[in-house]
Amino acid sequence: MADEIILMVFLHDELYIPDPIGRRGGFMGKIGCGLVVLSAVMSFQASANFEVLQSIRDAVVVIPSGYYIMGSPVEEPGRFFNERQHEVEISRDFELMSKEVSQLQWFSIMGDNPSKFKNREHCKDYQVINDVSMCPNNPVENISWYQTKTFIKKLNEKEGKELYRLPTEAEWEYATRGGTKTAYSFGNDPAQLRDFSWYFENANRMTHSVDTRMVNQFMLRNMHGNTWEWVEDWYTDFPAGGIDPKGPVHGNLKVIRGGGWLSLKEALRSAFRFYVKPGCGYHDVGFRLVRIQ
Please give the residue range of the domain that contains residue 223. Answer: 38-291
Whether 50 shows a pLDDT value over 50: the answer reads: yes
Whether 262 shows a pLDDT value over 70: the answer reads: yes
- Contacts with 135 (C-beta within 8 Å, 6 or more apart), sequence order: 103, 115, 117, 118, 119, 122, 123, 125, 126, 127, 207, 209
- Residue 2 belongs to a domain: no
pLDDT on residue 52: 87
256 phi and psi angles, rounded to 5 deg: -125, 150
Domain containing 96 — which CATH number?
3.90.1580.10
- Residue 93 belongs to a domain: yes
- Residue 157 belongs to a domain: yes
pLDDT on residue 39: 34
Residue-wise pLDDT for 238-253, tens only, equals 999 999 999 999 999 9
pLDDT on residue 23: 36
Residue-wise pLDDT for 76-93, tens only, equals 999 999 999 999 999 999
33 phi and psi angles, rounded to 5 deg: -75, 5
Helices 50-58, 145-159: axis angle to 10 degrees equals 110
What's the CA gap between 151 and 209, in Å, rounded? 20
CB 256 within 8 A of CB 22: no
What's the CA gap between 266 and 269, in Å, rounded? 6
- Residue 29 belongs to a domain: no
Which residue, 177, 164, 43, 55, is CA-closest to 111? 43
Cα–Cα separations (whole angstroms), residue 184 to 46, 76, 192, 274, 288: 39, 11, 9, 16, 19
Mean pLDDT of the chain: 87
- Residue 231 belongs to a domain: yes
Give the rounded percent of residues in the chain with a pLDDT score beyond 70: 83
Domain count, the chain: 1
Q: Compute the residue count for the chain.
A: 293
